[in-house]
Amino acid sequence: MKFTKKLLDAFVSLISVLLMCLVAGIVLLMLNELFLRNILNKSFRGMTELAGFMFLWMAFLGIIVLDDQGRLIALDIFYLQTKGKARTGLWFVHKIVAACLGVGMVVAFAGLYPYVSTEFYSSMPKFAKAWQYLPMAIAGVYLTIKAIYDIVERLLSRSDLLAKEST
């Protein structure tokens, strides 16, 4: 479990760095386009395409850090009122639902792959549309693995506690 935790933490750190680069990159691309159009009277559609592509990656990879930090917006006013077993039960439901959505995202990517893996639907030359869908699948994989990890960790710590109590 410790190794998995380390792996997940390292992955989130890597994603965090990538997110910073993506946001900075989008700003630079937009400013560059503005400069080229207004000052040099030239415009490159590729630049806005690339900004859009980076934006999609930022949007989906951001979910990974949000989930890791438990910062996804929730209407948790009722959840916070619950205690003990009721809260634990609801926590398990949250995790199972997150895992199911993650699986749904991965399966959807797999279903789309035959269609988007070619250049046919792509608006960028020599660049398959699948690259735009890939971050959704990565976020889906993370949501699933993290939810399963959290569930297993909670169950293990619970069984450890019970074992300690019995001795």
Partner 1 sequence: MIIFFVSFIVLLLIGAPISISIGASAVLGCINLGYPIMVIGQKMVSGIDSFLLIAIPLFILAGNLMNAGKITEKIFDFAKRLVGWIPGGLGHANIVASLIFAGMSGSAAADAGGLGTIEMEAMTTNGYDKEFSASVTAASTVIGPIFPPSIPLIIYGSVASVSVSQLFMGGVLPGLLMAVALMVLVLIFAVKRKYPRFPFSLRLLWTQFLQSILSIITPLIILSGFVFGWFTPTEASSVAVAYALVIAVFVYRTLDWKTFKKCLLESAITSANTLFIIGTSMLFSYVLIKEGVSLQIANFILGISDNPYLILLVINVLLLALGMFMEPGAILTLMLPVLLPIVKVLGIDLVHFGVVMVLNLMIGQVTPPFGVCLFIVSDVGEVPLNRLYRGILPFLIPLLIVLALCTYVPQLVTWLPNMLLHG
> Under the rule (CB under 8 A), what is the footprint of partner 1?
16, 19-20, 22-24, 26-27, 30-31, 33-34, 38, 48, 51-52, 55-56, 58-63, 65-66, 69, 71-80, 90, 93-94, 97-98, 100-101, 104-105, 107-109, 111-112, 115, 132-133, 136
Q: The tokens of 29 are what?
A: 């691309």
Task: Using the minimum distance from each CB to partner 1, give the nearer residue, 75 or 162.
Answer: 75
Q: Can you tell me the distance from the alpha carbon of 115 to that of 74, in angstroms, rounded to the nearest whole number?
A: 35
Closest by CA to 72, choosing from 103, 97, 53, 89, is 97
The closest of 122, 116, 138 to 50, measured between CA atoms, is 122
Q: Provide, rounded to whole angstroms, the least separation between the CB of residue 17 and partner 1.
A: 9
44: helix, strand or coil: coil
Choice between 3 and 120, CB closer to partner 1 = 120
Least distance to partner 1, CB of residue 145, Å: 15
9: region left, alpha or beta (phi > 0 left; psi from -120 to 50 alpha)? alpha
- To the nearest whole angstrom, how small is the minimum distance from the Cβ of residue 135 to partner 1? 9
Task: Provide, rounded to whole angstroms, the least separation between the CB of residue 66 and partner 1.
Answer: 5
4 or 62: CB nearest partner 1: 62
Q: How far apart are CA 163 and CA 21, in angstroms?
A: 47
